[in-house]
Amino acid sequence: MMKKIRDPLHTFIKLLGRRRGVIPPFTLELSLVDGNWFYVHSVQEASEDSVSIALRVWDTRALDDEELDRLQADTASIDDLTLLSDPKNLHPHLDWAVLRVDLDQIAYCVEWHHPLWSGDEPKQSRQRLH
């Protein structure tokens, strides 16, 4: 396997792995080159010498549009990150899954504002993605 040359996007994702903890739903959106996208739950495995990464993603497949809208509104007002430890605290059908993806398959990330996550981010992992 060839070693992937690191760009700011991949560096950012690797740094998330050091941060630990759960990212609130609808806060960090990961888009793949094939057009699929996921909301990141946490970084499960991210080693510097790997060309792939294992991420936990929020699994919202069992929710309809109305439930997704309600969940998005509810999670915007979360004031205690410990509620995120069990997805069922947020919605009975919410879950997470593991996504294993090659770094070169990641097109971009979007960080949506959430007061508990964005403002609490350690300085070494703060990077703007343009």
Residue numbers of the domain that contains 106: 20-120
57 falls within a domain: yes
Closest CA to 36 of 95, 99, 112: 99
Total of domains in the chain: 1
CB atoms within 10 A of CB 67: 15
52 falls within a domain: yes
Any long-range contacts for 8-11 (C-beta under 8 Å, 24+ apart)? 8/127, 8/129, 9/106, 9/108, 9/109, 9/129, 10/103, 10/106, 11/127
88 touches 94 (CB < 8 A): yes
pTM of the model: 0.76
CATH number at residue 81: 2.30.30
**pLDDT of the residue at 40:** 92
All residue ranges of the chain with pLDDT < 70 are 1-7, 10, 17-19, 46-49, 117-130
Report the distance separating Cα 81 and Cα 50, nearest Å: 30
77 falls within a domain: yes
**pLDDT of the residue at 48:** 64
**pLDDT of the residue at 21:** 78
Instruction: Scan for tokens 């960080």, then name that residue.
Output: 111
Three-state DSSP at 64 gives coil
84 falls within a domain: yes
